[in-house]
Amino acid sequence: MLENYKEIKKRVIEVLHTKTEIENRESIPQDNGIFSYNNGIKTYVGALFIDIIDSTKLFKEVEKELLARILRTFFREIIIILKSNSNYRQIGIRGDCVYAIYSAPTEEELSDILINAIEINTFQKMFQKILQQNQFINFKIGIGLGASETLIIRSGKKKGGINDNIWIGDAVIDASKLSSEAGRNNLDVIAIDSNFYKKIKYLKCNENEQYQNYFKEEYSPKLAETIYTCDMIICDFNEWIENGMK
Protein backbone atom coordinates (compact mmCIF):
# COMPACT_ATOMS: atom_id res chain seq x y z
CA MET A 1 0.00 0.00 0.00
CA LEU A 2 1.24 3.48 -0.89
CA GLU A 3 2.82 5.28 2.05
CA ASN A 4 1.76 8.71 3.24
CA TYR A 5 1.50 10.81 0.07
CA LYS A 6 2.27 13.99 1.99
CA GLU A 7 5.62 12.51 2.98
CA ILE A 8 6.22 11.56 -0.66
CA LYS A 9 5.64 15.16 -1.76
CA LYS A 10 7.93 16.46 0.97
CA ARG A 11 10.69 14.08 -0.09
CA VAL A 12 10.34 14.97 -3.78
CA ILE A 13 10.51 18.71 -3.09
CA GLU A 14 13.54 18.24 -0.83
CA VAL A 15 15.53 16.32 -3.45
CA LEU A 16 14.54 18.66 -6.30
CA HIS A 17 15.81 21.67 -4.38
CA THR A 18 19.06 20.13 -3.13
CA LYS A 19 21.92 21.28 -5.37
CA THR A 20 24.25 18.57 -6.65
CA GLU A 21 27.87 19.19 -5.64
CA ILE A 22 29.79 18.37 -8.83
CA GLU A 23 33.51 17.62 -8.74
CA ASN A 24 35.63 17.37 -11.90
CA ARG A 25 37.99 14.40 -11.77
CA GLU A 26 40.57 12.92 -14.13
CA SER A 27 39.18 9.42 -13.60
CA ILE A 28 36.38 7.54 -11.86
CA PRO A 29 37.38 6.46 -8.33
CA GLN A 30 37.35 2.71 -7.74
CA ASP A 31 35.74 3.24 -4.35
CA ASN A 32 32.00 3.90 -4.67
CA GLY A 33 32.07 5.22 -1.13
CA ILE A 34 33.02 8.63 -2.49
CA PHE A 35 29.47 9.03 -3.82
CA SER A 36 26.74 10.42 -1.59
CA TYR A 37 23.15 11.21 -2.54
CA ASN A 38 23.85 14.88 -3.17
CA ASN A 39 27.20 14.91 -4.97
CA GLY A 40 28.42 13.91 -8.41
CA ILE A 41 31.65 13.38 -10.34
CA LYS A 42 32.26 14.62 -13.86
CA THR A 43 34.90 12.76 -15.85
CA TYR A 44 35.55 10.96 -19.14
CA VAL A 45 33.84 7.62 -19.62
CA GLY A 46 33.92 4.81 -22.17
CA ALA A 47 31.11 2.27 -22.54
CA LEU A 48 30.86 -1.12 -24.26
CA PHE A 49 27.54 -2.91 -24.85
CA ILE A 50 27.01 -6.38 -26.35
CA ASP A 51 23.52 -7.16 -27.65
CA ILE A 52 22.16 -10.54 -28.77
CA ILE A 53 20.56 -10.22 -32.21
CA ASP A 54 16.98 -11.52 -32.56
CA SER A 55 16.90 -12.45 -28.89
CA THR A 56 13.09 -12.43 -28.81
CA LYS A 57 13.01 -15.30 -31.29
CA LEU A 58 15.75 -17.09 -29.36
CA PHE A 59 13.89 -16.83 -26.05
CA LYS A 60 10.60 -18.02 -27.54
CA GLU A 61 11.81 -20.90 -29.70
CA VAL A 62 14.65 -22.55 -27.77
CA GLU A 63 13.94 -25.04 -25.01
CA LYS A 64 14.45 -23.19 -21.73
CA GLU A 65 16.96 -25.49 -20.05
CA LEU A 66 19.16 -25.60 -23.15
CA LEU A 67 18.95 -21.83 -23.54
CA ALA A 68 19.95 -21.45 -19.89
CA ARG A 69 23.17 -23.39 -20.55
CA ILE A 70 23.96 -21.39 -23.68
CA LEU A 71 23.36 -18.00 -22.08
CA ARG A 72 25.13 -18.89 -18.83
CA THR A 73 28.22 -19.85 -20.83
CA PHE A 74 28.04 -16.81 -23.10
CA PHE A 75 27.53 -14.23 -20.34
CA ARG A 76 30.20 -15.81 -18.13
CA GLU A 77 32.91 -15.63 -20.80
CA ILE A 78 31.97 -12.11 -21.90
CA ILE A 79 32.12 -10.87 -18.31
CA ILE A 80 35.57 -12.45 -17.86
CA ILE A 81 36.80 -10.48 -20.89
CA LEU A 82 35.22 -7.25 -19.63
CA LYS A 83 36.77 -7.70 -16.17
CA SER A 84 40.23 -8.20 -17.68
CA ASN A 85 40.31 -4.42 -18.18
CA SER A 86 41.15 -2.96 -14.77
CA ASN A 87 39.51 0.37 -15.68
CA TYR A 88 35.97 -1.02 -15.53
CA ARG A 89 33.75 0.63 -12.97
CA GLN A 90 30.46 -1.16 -13.63
CA ILE A 91 29.58 -4.42 -15.36
CA GLY A 92 26.04 -5.69 -15.70
CA ILE A 93 23.41 -7.60 -17.64
CA ARG A 94 20.21 -5.95 -18.88
CA GLY A 95 17.94 -8.57 -20.36
CA ASP A 96 19.82 -9.87 -23.41
CA CYS A 97 22.56 -7.23 -23.21
CA VAL A 98 25.90 -7.31 -21.36
CA TYR A 99 27.66 -4.02 -20.70
CA ALA A 100 30.68 -2.45 -19.08
CA ILE A 101 31.38 1.17 -18.21
CA TYR A 102 34.99 2.27 -17.87
CA SER A 103 37.04 5.13 -16.54
CA ALA A 104 38.73 6.32 -19.74
CA PRO A 105 40.37 9.75 -19.51
CA THR A 106 43.06 8.99 -22.11
CA GLU A 107 43.24 7.69 -25.67
CA GLU A 108 45.17 4.66 -24.44
CA GLU A 109 42.38 3.67 -22.07
CA LEU A 110 39.76 4.04 -24.81
CA SER A 111 41.98 1.91 -27.04
CA ASP A 112 41.94 -0.81 -24.38
CA ILE A 113 38.13 -0.82 -24.53
CA LEU A 114 38.28 -1.31 -28.30
CA ILE A 115 40.64 -4.24 -27.72
CA ASN A 116 38.03 -5.76 -25.37
CA ALA A 117 35.45 -5.41 -28.15
CA ILE A 118 37.79 -7.12 -30.63
CA GLU A 119 38.42 -9.95 -28.15
CA ILE A 120 34.66 -10.41 -27.71
CA ASN A 121 34.13 -10.42 -31.47
CA THR A 122 36.75 -13.16 -31.86
CA PHE A 123 35.40 -15.16 -28.91
CA GLN A 124 31.93 -15.06 -30.48
CA LYS A 125 33.30 -16.67 -33.65
CA MET A 126 34.66 -19.52 -31.52
CA PHE A 127 31.41 -19.79 -29.55
CA GLN A 128 29.39 -20.01 -32.76
CA LYS A 129 31.61 -22.85 -33.99
CA ILE A 130 31.17 -24.75 -30.73
CA LEU A 131 27.39 -24.31 -30.86
CA GLN A 132 27.36 -25.58 -34.44
CA GLN A 133 29.49 -28.60 -33.57
CA ASN A 134 27.07 -29.51 -30.79
CA GLN A 135 24.05 -28.89 -33.02
CA PHE A 136 22.80 -26.15 -30.71
CA ILE A 137 20.97 -23.08 -31.96
CA ASN A 138 23.28 -20.25 -32.93
CA PHE A 139 23.03 -16.49 -32.56
CA LYS A 140 24.90 -13.35 -33.56
CA ILE A 141 25.77 -10.22 -31.60
CA GLY A 142 26.18 -6.49 -32.07
CA ILE A 143 28.83 -4.54 -30.16
CA GLY A 144 28.50 -0.81 -29.47
CA LEU A 145 31.11 1.58 -28.08
CA GLY A 146 30.64 5.16 -26.89
CA ALA A 147 32.75 7.81 -25.18
CA SER A 148 31.97 11.17 -23.61
CA GLU A 149 32.40 13.39 -20.61
CA THR A 150 29.84 12.08 -18.14
CA LEU A 151 28.29 13.17 -14.86
CA ILE A 152 28.04 10.25 -12.43
CA ILE A 153 25.61 10.43 -9.52
CA ARG A 154 24.27 8.00 -6.95
CA SER A 155 20.55 7.38 -6.67
CA GLY A 156 18.23 5.09 -4.75
CA LYS A 157 17.03 4.77 -1.20
CA LYS A 158 19.50 5.50 1.56
CA LYS A 159 20.16 2.38 3.65
CA GLY A 160 17.52 0.62 1.56
CA GLY A 161 19.85 -1.72 -0.27
CA ILE A 162 18.60 -0.60 -3.69
CA ASN A 163 20.85 2.06 -5.17
CA ASP A 164 23.11 2.48 -8.15
CA ASN A 165 25.15 4.93 -10.17
CA ILE A 166 23.45 6.95 -12.90
CA TRP A 167 25.59 7.89 -15.90
CA ILE A 168 24.50 11.22 -17.42
CA GLY A 169 26.22 11.60 -20.79
CA ASP A 170 26.36 10.28 -24.35
CA ALA A 171 28.78 7.38 -23.79
CA VAL A 172 26.35 4.88 -22.26
CA ILE A 173 23.41 5.94 -24.43
CA ASP A 174 25.42 5.76 -27.67
CA ALA A 175 26.99 2.39 -26.85
CA SER A 176 23.59 0.91 -25.99
CA LYS A 177 21.94 2.19 -29.16
CA LEU A 178 24.83 1.15 -31.39
CA SER A 179 24.83 -2.39 -29.99
CA SER A 180 21.23 -2.67 -31.23
CA GLU A 181 22.31 -1.58 -34.74
CA ALA A 182 25.67 -3.34 -35.12
CA GLY A 183 25.73 -6.67 -36.94
CA ARG A 184 22.47 -5.91 -38.73
CA ASN A 185 21.53 -4.48 -42.13
CA ASN A 186 25.02 -5.11 -43.54
CA LEU A 187 26.77 -3.26 -40.70
CA ASP A 188 29.90 -4.79 -39.19
CA VAL A 189 29.74 -6.34 -35.72
CA ILE A 190 31.52 -3.48 -33.91
CA ALA A 191 30.02 0.03 -34.11
CA ILE A 192 31.73 3.06 -32.57
CA ASP A 193 30.37 6.55 -32.02
CA SER A 194 32.20 9.46 -33.65
CA ASN A 195 33.59 10.81 -30.39
CA PHE A 196 35.18 7.47 -29.45
CA TYR A 197 36.64 7.09 -32.95
CA LYS A 198 38.14 10.59 -33.06
CA LYS A 199 39.79 10.05 -29.68
CA ILE A 200 41.63 6.87 -30.73
CA LYS A 201 42.10 7.58 -34.45
CA TYR A 202 45.47 9.32 -34.32
CA LEU A 203 46.84 7.11 -31.58
CA LYS A 204 46.11 3.99 -33.62
CA CYS A 205 47.24 5.51 -36.92
CA ASN A 206 50.62 6.28 -35.37
CA GLU A 207 50.89 2.61 -34.40
CA ASN A 208 49.66 1.31 -37.76
CA GLU A 209 49.22 3.40 -40.91
CA GLN A 210 46.61 0.95 -42.22
CA TYR A 211 44.42 1.40 -39.16
CA GLN A 212 41.91 3.70 -40.84
CA ASN A 213 41.33 1.07 -43.52
CA TYR A 214 39.86 -1.27 -40.91
CA PHE A 215 36.89 1.04 -40.34
CA LYS A 216 33.92 1.95 -42.49
CA GLU A 217 32.15 5.28 -42.16
CA GLU A 218 28.41 4.69 -41.80
CA TYR A 219 25.29 6.58 -40.77
CA SER A 220 23.37 5.64 -37.63
CA PRO A 221 19.61 6.33 -37.77
CA LYS A 222 19.39 5.89 -34.00
CA LEU A 223 22.12 8.44 -33.25
CA ALA A 224 21.36 10.56 -36.35
CA GLU A 225 25.08 10.98 -36.97
CA THR A 226 28.14 9.41 -38.56
CA ILE A 227 29.54 6.30 -36.88
CA TYR A 228 32.39 3.91 -37.63
CA THR A 229 32.16 0.13 -37.92
CA CYS A 230 34.61 -2.73 -38.17
CA ASP A 231 34.88 -6.51 -37.87
CA MET A 232 38.36 -6.62 -36.34
CA ILE A 233 39.57 -9.86 -34.75
CA ILE A 234 42.55 -11.27 -32.84
CA CYS A 235 44.43 -12.89 -35.73
CA ASP A 236 46.15 -15.82 -34.01
CA PHE A 237 43.00 -16.63 -32.02
CA ASN A 238 40.91 -16.56 -35.21
CA GLU A 239 43.44 -18.68 -37.11
CA TRP A 240 43.22 -21.33 -34.38
CA ILE A 241 39.41 -21.24 -34.67
CA GLU A 242 39.54 -21.62 -38.46
CA ASN A 243 42.00 -24.52 -38.16
CA GLY A 244 39.60 -26.58 -36.07
CA MET A 245 40.41 -25.42 -32.51
CA LYS A 246 42.75 -28.31 -31.75
What average pLDDT does the chain have?
Answer: 91
Number of domains within the chain: 1
Share of the chain above pLDDT 70, in %: 93
Q: What pLDDT does residue 186 have?
A: 93
Q: Supply φ then ψ for residue 65, to 5 degrees.
A: -70, -40
For 10, 65, 68, 107, the CA distances from 115, given in Å and listed in that order, are: 48, 33, 28, 12
Is residue 11 situated within a structural domain? no
Residue 138, pLDDT above cutoff 60: yes
Is residue 225 situated within a structural domain? yes
Q: What pLDDT does residue 31 have?
A: 80
Is residue 13 situated within a structural domain? no
CATH of the domain at 59: 3.30.70.1230
Chain segment 199-241, per-residue pLDDT in tens: 988 766 556 666 778 899 999 999 999 999 999 999 999 999 9
Q: What pLDDT does residue 160 have?
A: 63
Is residue 117 situated within a structural domain? yes
- The reported pTM is 0.92
Residue 29: pLDDT band with limits 50, 70, 90: confident
What would the mean pLDDT of 131-142 be, rounded to a whole number? 94
Is residue 174 situated within a structural domain? yes
Is residue 7 situated within a structural domain? no
What residue numbers bound the domain in which 91 lies? 39-240
Higher-confidence residue of 30 and 210: namely 30
Residue 2, pLDDT above cutoff 70: no
Q: What is the C-alpha to C-alpha distance for residues 218 and 111, in angstroms, rounded to an integer?
A: 20
Chain segment 90-121, per-residue pLDDT in tens: 999 998 999 999 999 999 999 999 999 999 99
Is residue 6 situated within a structural domain? no
Q: What pLDDT does residue 208 have?
A: 65
Is residue 18 situated within a structural domain? no
